[in-house]
Amino acid sequence: MPSRVEALRRVLTERGLGGFLVSNLSNCRYLSGFVGDAGWLLVTDARCGVAVDSRFWEAAKQKAPDFELLPIKGDLPGWFLRTAAEWGVNRWGIEAEAMSLAAYQNLTAAIARDQSPVQLVPTTGLLEAQRSVKEPPEIELLGKASQLAARALDHARSAARTGMTECELAWEIESFLRENGSETVAFEIIASSGPNCALPHARPSERRIEAGEPVLLDLGARLEGYCSDFTRTFCVGKPSPKLVKVHSIVLGAQLTALATIQSGMTGEQADQLARTVINQAGYEQTFGHGLGHGVGLDVHEWPRVGARSQDVLVDGMVFTIEPGIYLPGWGGVRIEDTVVMEGGRARPLAEADKSLEAR
């Protein structure tokens, strides 16, 4: 953790910032170890502290031993301005994506009221960029979370039956993940069937799985905060010819991206690798989301891997590769791996059967 704080301090110096106010809770955890529902970090060249109300004092002491405990007392803006004065730092970077407009307005109103010399400088992505390149212990945890997700997919392939509801299958998977060590699920499991697979973010319903139709499972485990994210689409019974065709195109797109992504590419270029395969197969406009997204303490984080993303892929980044084809009224197919960039190439963090037939 101390080296992470040092890396942030170098960025603050480059940007002419005396201090940084961290309000994104995943960034708080990354930098300090603190895990809670509410809290800020304050980081300057000389000091770093975790600011929490009394509910989280004990947790902050235990989990963020390298940070001073800064008990918030009274109203938050007034407390912050007093602390800034005590620390002798006026120019503070803030996280524009994590701070609400209301919190910002409360702070600026307090600055005006107190005639404080504090200046707030909105920033985006300072810690998100740092977090996007993983350290070896992070990759190890992401690997374990990925292997657990792969085992859950394997289990689901065996458990899926015609007549089972989507909710039942989702719960079967969640129980498996939790009983095998996942702290929580990384996100609400998607278990969709038939036409529901046309909704990329479907919620499990009471619909019963039928033979021959797509069953799409999107799931992830979480270990020490680190997530994984995998999707498979398979079929109970004999698949329809259309499903065989759509599945093979998506699989081709996914394998193409896996094999040809190279470090130095932008997220947009990576996206294009898979999109071209789908478009050339005659399925333009059916792949309505980006190729993927970074995965770490958040299940969606940097790098962004999709149209318009100029994020450059480099070794140590962990992200998903998840092309899909969605046909309203019929269904859809998506195949997704979580990968790590290593030696300039994408390596899946776990292997799980990609075939169309359930067991």
| 69 part of the interface to a second copy, by CB under 8 A | no
What sign results for the dihedral spanned by CA atoms 270, 271, 272, 275?
Answer: positive
| 330 part of the interface to a second copy, by CB under 8 A | no
Task: Candidates 99-107, 110-118, 264-272, 313-321: pick the segment binding a second copy (CB under 8 A).
Answer: 99-107
Would you say 332 and 359 are in contact if contact means Cβ atoms under 8 Å apart?
A: no
Which CB sits closer to a second copy, 135 or 188? Answer: 188
Say which residues have a Cβ less than 8 Å from residue 90's Cβ, sequence separation at least 6.
18, 84, 117, 118, 119
| 94 part of the interface to a second copy, by CB under 8 A | yes
CA angle 101, 107, 112 (to 5 degrees): 125
Least distance in Å: CB of 199 to a second copy?
5
- Exposed, middle or buried, 11 (CB in 10 Å: 0-12/13-18/19+)? middle
The whole-angstrom separation of Cα 71 and Cα 28 is 16
User: How many residues are listed for the chain in this entry?
Assistant: 359
**Which of 179, 218, 234 lies closest to 300 in space, CA to CA?**
218
- Using CB under 8 A as the criterion, what x/- string covers residues 119-158 for binding a second copy? ---x-x----------------------------------
- Using CB under 8 A as the criterion, what x/- string covers residues 172-211 for binding a second copy? --xx--xx----x---x---------xxxxxx--------
The residue count for binding a second copy (CB under 8 A) is 38
| 289 part of the interface to a second copy, by CB under 8 A | yes
| 112 part of the interface to a second copy, by CB under 8 A | no
| Cα→Cα distances 71→25, 47, 76, 81, 86, Å | 17, 15, 11, 14, 14
Which CB sits closer to a second copy, 202 or 335? Answer: 202
Backbone angles phi, psi at 277, to 5 degrees: -60, -45
Task: Candidates 144-152, 169-177, 244-252, 255-263: pick the segment binding a second copy (CB under 8 A).
Answer: 169-177
Q: Calculate helix-pair angle for 136-159, 166-179, nearest 10 degrees.
A: 140
Which CB sits closer to a second copy, 132 or 286? Answer: 286
**Which of 58, 59, 40 lies closest to 50 in space, CA to CA?**
40
Task: Candidates 10-18, 51-59, 139-147, 351-359: pick the segment binding a second copy (CB under 8 A).
Answer: 51-59
Q: Which of residues 214-253 bind a second copy (CB under 8 A)?
A: none
Interface contacts to a second copy, rule CB under 8 A: 35-37, 53-56, 58-59, 94, 96-105, 122, 124, 171, 174-175, 178-179, 184, 188, 198-203, 288-289, 328
